Structure 1
Amino acid sequence: MNDKDYSRMFQWFLLAACFYAGALYVQQPQIETGLWKAGHITSGAFLGYWIDRHLFGRYNHDDKYVPRVLARAIIVAAAIIGMAFGL
């Protein structure tokens, strides 16, 4: 992988960091919990993308092989759900 590949989805990582920082800064429990969970969900999206990327390689938009596309979606969804539940 080249340097451009490592910078993919970096904006999601930064967004998650901003959510976590906001959760530490805010004093209202409801908003703090919402920001903390939003950080978990965006972290799950970031991790799910990279797990999928390392398992299946680069995504080809011409690839219409349905089981592979479904496997990618399931992996990313499982990572997001796992982080949302705090597992």
Structure 2
Amino acid sequence: TTTGQLSTSAQLFRLQLFRLQQGTASVNDYTLHFRTLAAASGWNETALLGAYRQGLNPDIRAAIALYDDSIGLESFLQRTTRVSQRLAACQPS
């Protein structure tokens, strides 16, 4: 049924989102992939923010650890991008 297909599709997006890791990708690429999956997941903002934070690589995750989730998902995504840009600017060439 169509309803069953939508449910299966949503479950697939949720599973992909749950397993999504930044790895060696840039924060921008990770965030874009995350946004794509998040839009179809049906998860609430708190769950999305937790999944996003968990999927970040450890260096970025540590750098943004001081930021509270209460700033909201969109602000958190933007702040993570800015922090990653600052960290990259500090790296020796």
TM-score range, shorter chain: 0.3 to 0.5
TM-score, normalised with respect to structure 2: 0.32
TM-score, normalised with respect to structure 1: 0.33
